[in-house]
Amino acid sequence: MPEKIIIFDTTLRDGEQAPGASLTSQQKLEIAFQLEKLGVDVIEAGFPIASPDDSRAVSMVAKNIKNSVICGLARCLKQDIDAAHAALKNAKHPRIHLFLATSKIHLQYKFKKAEDEILEIAKYATKMARKLCADIEFSPEDATRSERDFLFRVIEAVINEGARTINIPDTTGYSYPQEAFSLITDIRNNVPNIHKAVIATHCHDDLGMAVANSLSAVLAGARQVHCTINGIGERAGNAALEEIVMAIKTRKDAFNGLFTQINTKELFRTSRLVSNLTDFIVPWNKAIVGKNAFRHESGIHQDAVLKKRITYEIMDPKDVGIAESQLVLGKHSGRHAFKDRLKTLGFHLSDEQLEKAFIRFKEVADKKKDIFDDDLRTIVQDEISVIKPIWQLSSFEVNSGTKVKPQATVCLLKKGKDCCGTSSGDGPVDACFKAIDKVTAYKARLEDFRLEAVTSGKDALGQVSLKLRIKDKIIGGRGSSTDIIEAAIRAYLDAVNKLESK
Ligand code: KIV
Ligand code: ZN
């Protein structure tokens, strides 16, 4: 019988650990709704002990998501387990995910503990967590660099204490496909009680092999895959969910008919939502969800695809939810049509958010004749990115040209009061950012700045994504407008507001 591969999505936990990818609890909930719609089996919603924000996000997701298992991460410590248990209180299907490193390097330098001590901690924590929650997953962190015999002992012991999923993390992205295969095979052959647990794989992309390693682990018998949307995650990221799912679907022949329950038509939408909310742009050539993934440039290819699509396409773009951006609304469209379209696009907005988004839509529609689905997504995601912005753009004025030193005045609203700052700069955008710094009194350093057109046409919405370093933190911001300087100001304020709302 073909077996199902359980998709464990960790976008909200490991994905959010990507430097500069921080999400508010409201944004996490928005992503969780979409993950549920996508059909993921398990959502790792956060690491509750890490911060009150993380704990709140896990609670919100646990309360609102009913179909997927909701998982909270915990170290093998009582306070972590209690925090995870508390945050998962309202989950219909809660899971506690314990982790403890088993490699010599971690034992020696991180813990300064002997193997037997680690074994005892793992057993004790699993037993404690199992009393609070029926569904326990255990990860021997840095498993791929651990001594095999010790790894087998730990796995056997935690299964005896009640763990029912054993995850094998390639924490540092050190492994390669043949090794990933042999490690899972060895675990299956050497851990006597392994049949009582599902084996999972969790691969990082430091050497660019996270997806290949995950798929090798599946071929060796892993039946759960940890992954993230767009492959975001700590350092170089995690295995990309969309790539794992489409590889298993497209190459059923190679994967012995294994399947996932992912509704692949939701992949593109989920990718864009995560990209917009985390301010991580999807590269044009990204497999499955990149702009170019289904575009054909050469005449020979275009001609052949028109004759028969499968000449140069191994997947149907419709299967991943890529359709031409549709012309949907214009400046005469009303609230009803706006609300309706957002619902179709999968947004869950409160009345207050809807009203804010509608006002913004009208402003944009006044300047841009045709509003496409991608424009709508951008407008709405701008509005829901920060719930109550502390600083809002009131007005700005820029003087720039080839023969003048660029100068900008930016006025911001804070608690109903207008505060203005004026500055010169290397260019109009730099002058605006410096003017904002004068008002907010933050010393922000611009680490990254990208400008993209959301749709085509000279009146297209420009979208700016940037990363600021403020007080040792990297914060992302995103803003859009038909005026690219305004888009840059909005993105800058988005980042500053995120920092303040934390
Ligand atoms: O990479 C890793 O080892 C992890 C664990 C917490 C599973 O993310
Ligand atoms: Zn990880």
**Is residue 350 a part of any domain in this protein?**
yes
The finding on whether 202 has its CB within 6 A of some atom of ligand 1 is yes
The finding on whether 14 has its CB within 6 A of some atom of ligand 1 is yes
The finding on whether 266 has its CB within 6 A of some atom of ligand 1 is no
Any residues with CB less than 8 A from the CB of 345 and at least 6 apart, and which? 269, 373, 376, 377, 380
**Is residue 261 a part of any domain in this protein?**
yes
**CB pairs under 8 A, 24+ apart, for 315-318?**
315/246, 315/250, 315/288, 317/293, 318/265
Q: Which two tokens stand for residue 454?
A: 């959301």
The CATH number of whichever domain residue 53 belongs to comes to 3.20.20.70
* Pairwise CA distance, residues 269 & 35, whole Å: 10
- Residue by residue, DSSP assigns 224-280 as EEEEBGGG--STT-B-BHHHHHHHHHHTTTTTTT-B----GGGHHHHHHHHHHHHT-
Q: Which of 198-202, 378-382, 429-433 has the lowest mean pLDDT?
A: 378-382
Parallel/antiparallel/unpaired status of strands 473-481 and 444-453? unpaired
The finding on whether 381 has its CB within 6 A of some atom of ligand 1 is no
The finding on whether 321 has its CB within 6 A of some atom of ligand 1 is no
Ligand nearest to the CA of 228: 2
Question: What is the pLDDT averaged over residues 187-204?
Answer: 98
On whether both 256 and 173 belong to a single domain, the answer is yes
Residue nearest to atom 5 of ligand 1 (CA): 141
**Is residue 285 a part of any domain in this protein?**
no
Give the Å distance between the CA of 352 and the centre of ligand 1. 38
On whether both 251 and 398 belong to a single domain, the answer is no
- 451-455-456-457 Cα dihedral, nearest 10 degrees: -90
Report the atom number in ligand 1 closest to the C-alpha of 14. 8
pLDDT in tens, 72-111: 999 999 999 999 999 999 999 999 999 999 999 999 999 9
Any residues with CB less than 8 A from the CB of 185 and at least 6 apart, and which? 220, 221
pLDDT band at 45 (very low <50, low <70, confident <90, very high): very high
Give the Å distance between the CA of 257 and the centre of ligand 1. 29
**CB pairs under 8 A, 24+ apart, for 404-410?**
406/430, 406/431, 407/431, 408/432, 408/434, 408/435, 409/435, 410/435, 410/436, 410/439, 410/489
Q: Residue 344's closest CA among 377, 383, 316?
A: 377
Range of the domain at 300: 295-366
Q: What does DSSP assign to residue 4? A: B
Give the Å distance between the CA of 15 and the centre of ligand 1. 11
On whether both 198 and 54 belong to a single domain, the answer is yes
**Is residue 31 a part of any domain in this protein?**
yes
Report the atom number in ligand 1 closest to the C-alpha of 226. 7
pLDDT band at 470 (very low <50, low <70, confident <90, very high): confident
Give the Å distance between the CA of 50 and the centre of ligand 1. 14
* Pairwise CA distance, residues 443 & 425, whole Å: 15
On whether both 253 and 308 belong to a single domain, the answer is no
Domain count, the chain: 3
Nearest 5°: the CA angle 353, 357, 361 is 170
Ligand nearest to the CA of 238: 2
pLDDT in tens, 259-280: 999 999 999 999 999 998 888 8
* Pairwise CA distance, residues 461 & 448, whole Å: 20
On whether both 269 and 302 belong to a single domain, the answer is no
Report the atom number in ligand 1 closest to the C-alpha of 13. 8
**Is residue 131 a part of any domain in this protein?**
yes
The CATH number of whichever domain residue 471 belongs to comes to 3.30.160.270
How much of the chain exceeds pLDDT 70, in percent?
98
Q: 170: which strand partners?
A: 203
Residue nearest to atom 3 of ligand 1 (CA): 171
Query: For a substitution probing ligand 1, which of 141, 168, 227 has the most ligand atoms within 8 Å of its CB?
Result: 141
Domain final residue, candidates 245, 278, 311:
278
**Is residue 208 a part of any domain in this protein?**
yes
Report the atom number in ligand 1 closest to the C-alpha of 204. 1
Q: What does DSSP assign to residue 12? A: T
Report the atom number in ligand 1 closest to the C-alpha of 169. 3
At 385 the pLDDT is: 62
* Pairwise CA distance, residues 173 & 179, whole Å: 12
pLDDT in tens, 364-386: 888 888 888 888 888 887 776 65
The finding on whether 139 has its CB within 6 A of some atom of ligand 1 is yes
Give the Å distance between the CA of 142 and the centre of ligand 2. 9
Q: Which two tokens stand for residue 65?
A: 């998501």
pLDDT band at 353 (very low <50, low <70, confident <90, very high): confident
Q: Which two tokens stand for residue 20?
A: 């500069």
Q: Phi/psi at 478 (nearest 5 deg)?
A: -145, 140
Query: For a substitution probing ligand 1, which of 71, 158, 165, 202 has the most ligand atoms within 8 Å of its CB?
Result: 202
On whether both 123 and 224 belong to a single domain, the answer is yes
**Is residue 381 a part of any domain in this protein?**
no
- For the chain, the average pLDDT equals 93
Q: 334 versus 9: which is more confidently predicted?
A: 9
On whether both 149 and 244 belong to a single domain, the answer is yes
On whether both 437 and 495 belong to a single domain, the answer is yes
On whether both 117 and 172 belong to a single domain, the answer is yes
The finding on whether 11 has its CB within 6 A of some atom of ligand 1 is no
pLDDT in tens, 452-461: 888 777 788 8
Instruction: Supply the pTM of this predicted model.
Output: 0.85
At 387 the pLDDT is: 57
The finding on whether 181 has its CB within 6 A of some atom of ligand 1 is no
Residue nearest to atom 4 of ligand 1 (CA): 171
* Pairwise CA distance, residues 389 & 58, whole Å: 23
At 341 the pLDDT is: 85
* Pairwise CA distance, residues 111 & 463, whole Å: 45
On whether both 243 and 342 belong to a single domain, the answer is no
